[in-house]
Amino acid sequence: STTTLKTSDHLRHVESMSTLPSGAGPISRLNAVILGESLASEEDHLVFPSEAFSMQAHVPSPQKYLETYARSIEDPAGFWSEMASGFFWKERWGPQVYAENLDIRKGKINIEWFKGGITNLCYNCLDRIIESGDGDKIAIFWEGNEPGFDGTLTYKQLLARVCQLANWLKDVGVRKGDAVVIYLPMLMELPISMLACSRIGAVHSVVFAGFSAESLAQRIMDCKPKVVITCNAVRRGSKIIYLKDIVDAALAESARNGNPLDVCLTYENESAMKRESTKWQEGRDIWWQDVVPKHPTTCAVEWVDAEDPLFLLYTSGSTGKPKGVLHTTGGYMVYTATTFKYAFDYKPSDVYWCTADCGWITGHSYVTYGPLLNGATAVVFEGAPNYPDAGRCWDIVDKFKVSIFYTAPTLVRSLMREGDQYVTRYSRKSLRVLGSVGEPINPSAWRWYFNVVGESRCPISDTWWQTETGGFMITPLPGAWPQKPGSATFPFFGVQPVIVDEKGAEIEGECSGYLCVKSSWPSAFRTLYGDHERYEATYFSAFPGYYFTGDGCTRDKDGYYWLTGRVDDVINVSGHRIGTAEVESALVSHPQCAEAAVVGVEHEVKGQGIYAFVTLVESVLYSEDLRRSLILTVRNQIGAFAAPDKIHWAPGLPKTRSGKIMRRILRKIASRQLDELGDTSTLADPSVVDELIKLVDC
Ligand code: PRX
């Protein structure tokens, strides 16, 4: 095992850095480095934690990190057993803590953690905290869309609400292993629904409430839930979104395809819409308020195996069909709780706010499960972060005395554009740790976040991870290391990232390549629902022996990791993951669209924007109406967040002689790097490129 350490490049680098005294360098030195100066290279910018911060941190120094990391790699079974022992297990796991095969050449890909261990996630999130004496602690501060509209739930109150719903679910026949689709905005009822499912061993599948009826129908038809949980409408900013209409359309579509659904539980969100105005299907639709509160506030726990499924979450890949990422119970529990604690340096006195929606993995692991497993107080926010104005986030921070604030770079950039006055108007003195997730954070946004929002005192945890990984993989541990703006720094305990070249050979030292992981970690996804072959083909075949993340990555001379974005056909728009193939298939479903090719293009606020090249059917003419109609088609089929930013009319697309679209060329045209098109001679018809360039600004 010492060889693992010796050959681990990352450790060699960090060991050489570990001579730095912890908390070296006063903050003033930082500011001198990071304010306004343009230094030769980003990798030379070091931002040191203050000594005061490091001294109180769970991981106070590079040395401590290195020791713990080394132990987690040398003895994963021992390390993770120790982490798991803080939770309640009805029966302890079997003699083998984990089993894994990540090498497709050796047979079926298989990952198991704590198998044979019997537990329940909801019990660990709620009952266990209450039994420890924290039942009256606030679990959720809820903040509505309209300022002044709010609510709270203590751990005891939350448990009572969860049990009522769990009892109702059992009443309507939901059993262990059954799927439940949740299509809700950020009401308290969303985490309540997730927890109620996990209490009874049902498998939840939350669908982000910005997805269209068609996307929702696709997910319903794939996982065939017993029940769909939704609400009639929601206010977001100044808009009202009629969610029940979307669910009705999705259920009609699903029924047409032979998957009728018997029960649709609908929460009456009175502040957005009264029940009288809601369309209703007698026999199928049930008002939450009419049935759930009548159920008992206690509900026996369904004890499940650590490897029993916990949830399904659909995510985008490089084909049109979304993938149902499956997470199981025990490993997910241990890993999300541990990463939450260390990556945010969580302490019981913290108030934590993650702005993500529970419709995405961030909301699963770090709005609902990770914080509750730590007995934390978390803010759940229904509204839009710029409503009624760009100061709303800091208003909420001051209101609840938020100490850990976790958001996406796209929000940081959009608030940065609005000006510092929206931030400095509020005190923010409660803040002590900031977090970032969803896409690489560009150094200038990092600095603004650090200097203006955090007043140069709050370390930033730039957490790199994925729906598939379940929890943080590469992340700073606040107080442990000097940070570099824009780098996610080092792997979390137990994670062994490697960078490989096109041939799949590991590259050592300072390098760039494809980011892979060479051993399993407890919250790794176990399969794609109903399609283990696709799981193996997508993630384990490109570079045999490794889990391939789909991301490019650079490791610098000090061993810091810098994520450089997706290397597959996935684009990341405002931290939302969208497959180019999904947008293309929506576009070509338009009767006047013959062919479409979609690429990502740099976007100042969203990180990446969606740029679509569209070829029309013979004799149809371009028009503004047609452009709008194409965009509307994508909104209707996927959701508003996937609407193309730009439609580029394309009389033809650059294709090789075998008919493959050369996206490399399209990316250059989209980003207007017209003198860098490279070799176009292998194209079947090189003149299409000139035609495309002529139409650049049409
Ligand atoms: O490209 C990476 C990017 O988001 C992808 C995962 O998307 P999703 O499964 O939707 O999960 C988002 C929330 C975890 C990754 O493959 N990504 C996520 N976090 C970061 C990031 N890229 C750079 N830095 C990050 N901190």
Mean pLDDT for 25-44 is 40
Q: What is the pLDDT of residue 310?
A: 98
Query: Is it the case that residue 4 has pLDDT exceeding 50?
Result: no
Task: Report the residue among 313, 340, 460, 464 best suited for mutation to probe ligand 1: largest number of ligand atoms under 8 A from its CB.
Answer: 464
Q: How far is the CA of 572 from the centre of ligand 1 (A)?
A: 8
What percent of the chain clears pLDDT 70, i.e. is strictly above it?
94
What residue spans of 638-673 are helical by DSSP H?
663-670
Mean pLDDT estimate for the chain:
92
Q: What is the pLDDT of residue 31?
A: 29
Task: Report the residue among 437, 495, 549, 582 best suited for mutation to probe ligand 1: largest number of ligand atoms under 8 A from its CB.
Answer: 437
Helix (H, G, I), strand (E, B) or coil at 166: helix
Q: How far is the CA of 422 from the centre of ligand 1 (A)?
A: 28
- Closest Cα to residue 510, out of 562, 468, 469, 465? 562
Report residue 22's pLDDT band, with 50, 70 and 90 as the boundaries. Answer: very low
Instruction: Check pocket membership of 204 for ligand 1, CB cut-off 6 A.
Output: no
Q: What is the pLDDT of residue 482?
A: 92
Q: Identify whether 568 is a catalytic site residue.
A: yes
Q: How far is the CA of 195 from the centre of ligand 1 (A)?
A: 25
Query: Is it the case that residue 24 has pLDDT exceeding 60?
Result: no
**Which atom of ligand 1 approaches the CA of 463 most closely?**
26
Task: Report the residue among 446, 474, 563 best suited for mutation to probe ligand 1: largest number of ligand atoms under 8 A from its CB.
Answer: 563
Instruction: Check pocket membership of 355 for ligand 1, CB cut-off 6 A.
Output: no
- Among protein residues, the one with the nearest Cα to ligand 1's atom 11 is 466
C-beta neighbour count of 522 within 10 angstroms: 28
Instruction: Check pocket membership of 460 for ligand 1, CB cut-off 6 A.
Output: no
Task: Report the residue among 434, 460, 465 best suited for mutation to probe ligand 1: largest number of ligand atoms under 8 A from its CB.
Answer: 465
Q: Which of 33-42, 495-504, 595-604, 683-692 has the lowest mean pLDDT?
A: 33-42
Report residue 215's pLDDT band, with 50, 70 and 90 as the boundaries. Answer: very high
Catalytic, out of 136, 568, 625, 685: 568
- Among protein residues, the one with the nearest Cα to ligand 1's atom 10 is 577
Q: Give the span between the Cα atoms of 277 and 257, in whole angstroms.
A: 28
Instruction: Check pocket membership of 462 for ligand 1, CB cut-off 6 A.
Output: yes
Mean pLDDT for 381-389 is 95
Q: How far is the CA of 490 from the centre of ligand 1 (A)?
A: 15
Residues 427-463 have pLDDT tens digits of: 999 999 999 999 999 999 999 999 999 999 999 999 9
- Among protein residues, the one with the nearest Cα to ligand 1's atom 5 is 466
Residues 6+ apart with CB under 8 A from 90: 118, 119, 120, 303
Instruction: Check pocket membership of 600 for ligand 1, CB cut-off 6 A.
Output: no
Q: What is the DSSP letter of 42?
A: G
**Which atom of ligand 1 approaches the CA of 570 most closely?**
1
Instruction: Check pocket membership of 219 for ligand 1, CB cut-off 6 A.
Output: no
Amino acid identity for residue 67 in this structure: E
Q: How far is the CA of 29 from the centre of ligand 1 (A)?
A: 31
Mean pLDDT for 200-208 is 98
Residues 556-607 have pLDDT tens digits of: 989 999 999 999 889 999 989 999 999 999 999 999 999 999 999 999 999 9
Q: What is the pLDDT of residue 469?
A: 98
Going from the C-alpha of 423 to that of each of 31, 88, 416, 434, 455, the distances in angstroms are 19, 42, 9, 14, 10
Instruction: Check pocket membership of 357 for ligand 1, CB cut-off 6 A.
Output: no
Q: Give the span between the Cα atoms of 143 and 154, in whole angstroms.
A: 15
- Among protein residues, the one with the nearest Cα to ligand 1's atom 2 is 439
Residues 151-162 have pLDDT tens digits of: 999 999 999 999
Instruction: Check pocket membership of 339 for ligand 1, CB cut-off 6 A.
Output: no
Report residue 12's pLDDT band, with 50, 70 and 90 as the boundaries. Answer: very low
As for the ipTM of the complex, it is 1.00
Residues 6+ apart with CB under 8 A from 597: 580, 584, 612, 613, 650, 653, 661, 663, 666
Report residue 28's pLDDT band, with 50, 70 and 90 as the boundaries. Answer: very low
Q: What is the pLDDT of residue 678?
A: 86
Based on the number of CB atoms within 10 Å of its own CB, is 656 exposed (0-12), middle (13-18) or buried (19 or more)?
exposed
Mean pLDDT for 12-38 is 35
Q: How far is the CA of 654 from the centre of ligand 1 (A)?
A: 30
Instruction: Check pocket membership of 439 for ligand 1, CB cut-off 6 A.
Output: yes
Q: Which residues of 33-63 are buried (b: 16+ CB within 10 A; e: fewer)?
A: bbeeeeeeebbebbbbbbbebbeebbbbbbb
Q: What is the pLDDT of residue 698?
A: 79
